[in-house]
């Protein structure tokens, strides 16, 4: 199938991912082109050991899930980058991203 005329140098901009996290009565929001960057922008001061609700919006699709305390602390706490990436893989699998 031929390419439409004039579309040679046009690239589709990546869809931004918007994350809203509700934990312990506080609401955290971030937006970035990738899921990793959006998660890195959310910083929870103190301890992040609480069940939380995460809402991910991307491309007109909205996913809402409950994260247990282990995943919340692994993603948004002050752990090592390796543990953060391991927890991020698990959360992305649960969210279907």
Q: How far apart are CA 95 and CA 58, in angstroms?
A: 11
Copy the structure tokens of residue 86. 């391991």
* Local structure of 25: helix, strand or coil: coil
This prediction has a pTM of 0.77
Between residues 81 and 2, which one has the greater pLDDT?
Answer: 81
Q: What is the mean pLDDT of residues 68-80?
A: 87
* Local structure of 95: helix, strand or coil: helix
- With bands split at pLDDT 50, 70 and 90, how would you rate the model's confidence at 78? confident
pLDDT in tens, 11-68: 656 678 999 999 888 999 999 998 889 998 998 877 778 899 999 998 889 999 999 9
Copy the structure tokens of residue 72. 């919340």
């Amino acid at each position: 199938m031929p390419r439409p005329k004039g579309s040679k140098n046009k690239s589709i901009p990546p869809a931004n991912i918007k994350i809203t996290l509700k934990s312990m009565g506080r609401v955290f929001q971030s937006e970035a082109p990738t899921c990793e960057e959006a998660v890195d922008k959310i910083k929870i001061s103190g301890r992040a050991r609480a069940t939380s609700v995460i809402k991910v919006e991307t491309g007109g699709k909205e996913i809402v899930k409950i994260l247990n305390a282990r995943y919340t602390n692994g993603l948004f706490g002050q752990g090592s980058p390796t543990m953060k990436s391991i927890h991020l893989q698990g959360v992305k699998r649960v969210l279907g991203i």
